Amino acid sequence: MERLTALADFFAANGRAEFLRFWENAPLRDPAFWQVFWDSLWTRDAPMAFLSYTFWVFLALCALAYYLCPRVIKPVWLLLCSYAFYLYDRHGTALVAILIGATALTWLCGLAVGHLKSRPARLVCVWLAVLCCIGTLGYYKYSNFFGGLLGLAPTALPAVLGLSYFIFQALGYVLDVYHGTAPVEHNPLYYALYVSFFPCIVSGPIERADHLIPQLRAPRGFQYKRVAGGAFRMLWGAFKKLVIAGNLDVFTRAVFTDMPAYGGGVLALAAVAFSCQLYMDFSGYCDLALGAGQVLGYDLLENFDRPFHANTFAGLWRRWHISLTDWFRRHIYFPLGGSRCAAWRTALNTMVVFLVSGLWHGAAMGYVVWGALNGAFMLIGRYTAPLRGKLAARNPLYRLTPLKNLIQRCFVFLLFVFCCVFFATCYYGGDTADALYLLGHLGAGGGPALAQLPALLGLSTLTLYILGGGILLVEVFEYFGRPHEVIRKLWLPVRWVLYYALLFAILLAADFGASGFVYGQF
């Protein structure tokens, strides 16, 4: 007790002097410190990432206020939150006019298309929307690409957050109104929220007006199961992105940026790993978007349906980036004639869609080659189906259905991996020559052995175990359905064990310094 009294007397005698000495040199007294703090808090140099603590706090506050405010205020509040999300990046403040302009133009065009009786006048409005939307998209994404083909010097253009997604969403509304598959939206508030709804604006899905706008008009009240399911889906997406895709990125980036240093076995493994990384990265980010939508009470379109379980190449594309594939099918493939025309015309329509898809992914020749290869494999699969059916009937390995499914799925996956080699080289800053180098050296020797790679890349044994177990967990868990639905069916203790297991895996093995969202640049 005497020691405690002596210690208290010491602090009483010296505490004031020590505090004054600290306060004289404290950065809190410097106005420049507060200016930097204020700038860092409100004006950021990058968009608000779904995996940042800022977004999780932002979403929590947004959802809390949303469920507390009156029903008539809910869409206004969500619209303000959506624009606040867009304006978080200080460089986005000058570009918000593009979002507002696209919203206003397509809403007015939709009104005109829905009420005009003259078909030529309606077509004029449709083409006005198409030219303005595609022109804006082309200017910001492809002017340097096509300028380079013409020998023009590149110009520095700002990246517009979510440009492809909100442009396609807004333009899709006008085209749906023209074709009579969506009603005219007369309320500009609901339409503006439909175009800018912040869970969709970074990674999609590309929503349909007839799916999302009715939900915006009839917002749901708080439902614990829905919010809890949405929160788990966000945790699930964070696990896929940070633990699996992030650690795979460490490996694939090292290989694709220095291919001559590795042998054929490592190059082949990197090609396979990138395809898995691409799925985990994109589907994980979509899980975050769909989970955020559920937390707010909205069901967004599913974007993935276990694509690597497809038995055909066409089946894979019906399960991959579903909202974009559906958009291309409804607004490009069907207007061109679809498959209800001559065989050569159907083949041309398919190739057009996949070439456009390649260009949508990026202004680089490698993405165009990626799209062309996917289109070619799609056509080969379609026109060889009768012959392959006859051969399959005589194949003794195909008499066992599980073995047949395994062989077919492996073959489809390897075709997808082949295409993704061109995608990966572009994503990591290379070109088609690098992709051809990888494909041409799959049988080459040299370089470090596979067993040496973890040590060279700095991946611990624990990380490798978590990575392998995580991939297996995702495949098994998603086999039974959507993550937010499956988790609610589990026994409560098992559910909480899974919660903590995912959290510990993220804390122990997440690569927080990994590259950003792959599809964020598209």
Provide the annotated active-site residues. Answer: 361
Distance CA 427, CA 271 (A): 13
**Three-state DSSP class for 507?**
helix
CB contact set of 63 (below 8 Å; sequence gap of 6+): 227, 295, 296
389 to each of 382, 392, 422, how far by Cα in Å?
Answer: 11, 5, 30
13 to each of 24, 25, 290, how far by Cα in Å?
Answer: 19, 21, 59
453 to each of 246, 271, 445, 447, 448, how far by Cα in Å?
Answer: 16, 15, 15, 10, 7
DSSP track, 30-41: -HHHHHHHHHHH
| Torsional sign, CA 382, 383, 385, 386 | positive
Burial tier of 351 (Cβ tally within 10 Å: 0-12, 13-18, 19+): middle
Give the residue among 373, 366, 333 at the shortest CA–CA distance from 350.
Answer: 333
CB contact set of 462 (below 8 Å; sequence gap of 6+): 508, 509
106 to each of 112, 208, 351, how far by Cα in Å?
Answer: 10, 14, 28
CB contact set of 130 (below 8 Å; sequence gap of 6+): 171, 174
CB contact set of 74 (below 8 Å; sequence gap of 6+): 66, 219
Distance CA 159, CA 173 (A): 24
